[in-house]
Amino acid sequence: MDTKIIRIDEQHIDMALIEEAGKIIKAGGLVAFPTETVYGLGGDALNPLSSEKIYKAKGRPSDNPLIVHIADMQYLDRIVRKVPDSAYKLAERFWPGPLTMILYKADMVPYETTGGLDTVAVRMPVHRVARELIKAAGGYVAAPSANRSGRPSPTLAKYVAEDMAGRIDMIIDGGNVEIGLESTIIDLTSKEPTVLRPGCITKQMLSQVLSGVEEDITLMRDDAGQAPRAPGMKYRHYAPQGDMTVVSGEEGRVTEYINEQVFLRKSDNKRTGVICTDASVEKYRADVCKSVGNRNDEAGIARELYRVLREFDDEKVEVIYAEAFDADGIGQAIMNRLLKAAGHKVVCV
């Protein structure tokens, strides 16, 4: 299959191109597009064949449900059995934006889209290209991240092309994404509203709107003795090809420990890498050292993280050490993704 790559600028949207892309989705095809979080791989959420195509293109297990993207509030109650008050409250505060809500699905949403579940994940993105595309595509676009399963989510169209060229109909290049990590997911079908995946909308922010917000205990640990409640979270997502360890502790000790390990691994002839920050990048002696930015600028780190993980793959790094980050605010989402990339291998020094 030939994959057509087009460029659409969020500030000057070419509606003829949007129409062309929308038609592809309506006809059952797949189009990758920019959102504020990461690039999505879009298909018609109400067409079971489109969802099957998405799973196939990603190489994703089909019990891992897709997020349905809408562009207008009026569309919500058509795909949800009964929209609870809590959803309206959250929507008023956080939509359009990087928040996904889990709600009971209406019959018209095929089980192929929800991975066999009676619930559906819904999000209204803020990115203007995404919104226009959703409208042109009929209103309901199922869109997981546009990476092959097991690779970091794409934050640039060139990464989508690396993973998806030849497998989908079209890629819309909209430049850099703004956030760089996937949306926060909150389950509104459980007894208390529960965060299933941390993102840049934090638990504290959600708690300003709803009372009793909880967190799935598997978010930051893998020894909780239970399966994560978001099916996709059980997979080793976001994983670089190298063997990765997160190192936490006092700054100087972390640098010292990582350099010791790098020395040992180099003498085993391993190609080594370090994920660090601007302040520490000069201190490491690994083959490849990459800063994700300034430790105090968490939004900046979120934006750079997946690019850096992909670059370690490109550079064929075999062993990676990553500095840990404070797990509050957006830091929780950053650490959640790092821990997943590392398969929860953490050393405290």
- Interface ranges with ligand AMP (CB under 6 A): 64-67, 102, 114, 117, 119-121, 144-145, 182, 185, 196, 230-233
User: Are 290 and 281 a contacting pair, CB within 8 Å?
Assistant: yes
Measured between alpha carbons, how far is 128 from 330 in angstroms, rounded to an integer?
23
CB of 264 to Mg ion, least distance (A): 34
CB of 98 to ligand AMP, least distance (A): 11
Return the biggest CA–CA distance within the chain.
61
Q: How far apart are the first and last CA of the chain?
A: 50
From the list ligand AMP, Mg ion, none, partner contacted by residue 65 (C-beta under 5 to 8 A by kind):
ligand AMP
Measured between alpha carbons, how far is 205 from 58 in angstroms, rounded to an integer?
32
From the list Mg ion, ligand AMP, none, partner contacted by residue 233 (C-beta under 5 to 8 A by kind):
ligand AMP
**3-class DSSP assignment, residue 244:** strand
CB of 108 to ligand AMP, least distance (A): 15
Measured between alpha carbons, how far is 338 from 271 in angstroms, rounded to an integer?
20
CB of 92 to ligand AMP, least distance (A): 22
- What CA–CA distances, in Å, run from 145 to 18, 35, 67, 114, 294? 19, 10, 9, 15, 26
From the list Mg ion, ligand AMP, none, partner contacted by residue 119 (C-beta under 5 to 8 A by kind):
ligand AMP
Whose Cβ is closer to Mg ion: residue 86's or residue 145's?
Answer: 145
Whose Cβ is closer to ligand AMP: residue 163's or residue 287's?
Answer: 163
User: Are 17 and 6 a contacting pair, CB within 8 Å?
Assistant: yes
Query: What count of Cα atoms within 13 Å lies in the side-chain half-sphere of residue 217?
Result: 5
CB of 66 to ligand AMP, least distance (A): 6
Measured between alpha carbons, how far is 251 from 272 in angstroms, rounded to an integer?
20
Whose Cβ is closer to ligand AMP: residue 67's or residue 274's?
Answer: 67
Q: What does the DSSP 8-state code read for residue 189? A: S
Whose Cβ is closer to Mg ion: residue 219's or residue 254's?
Answer: 219
Whose Cβ is closer to ligand AMP: residue 119's or residue 155's?
Answer: 119
Whose Cβ is closer to ligand AMP: residue 183's or residue 255's?
Answer: 183
From the list Mg ion, ligand AMP, none, partner contacted by residue 272 (C-beta under 5 to 8 A by kind):
none
Enumerate residues 93-152 that contact Mg ion by CB under 5 A: 145
Total binding residues toward Mg ion, as defined by CB under 5 A? 1
User: Are 180 and 38 a contacting pair, CB within 8 Å?
Assistant: yes
Whose Cβ is closer to Mg ion: residue 185's or residue 276's?
Answer: 185
**Residue of minimal CB distance from Mg ion?**
145
Single out the residue of 174, 140, 182 nearest to residue 33, CA to CA: 174
Measured between alpha carbons, how far is 249 from 258 in angstroms, rounded to an integer?
11
CB of 121 to ligand AMP, least distance (A): 3
CB of 181 to ligand AMP, least distance (A): 10
CA 209 distance to own-chain centroid: 24
Whose Cβ is closer to ligand AMP: residue 121's or residue 172's?
Answer: 121
CA 234 distance to own-chain centroid: 14
CB of 110 to ligand AMP, least distance (A): 13
| Sites of contact with Mg ion (CB under 5 A) | 145
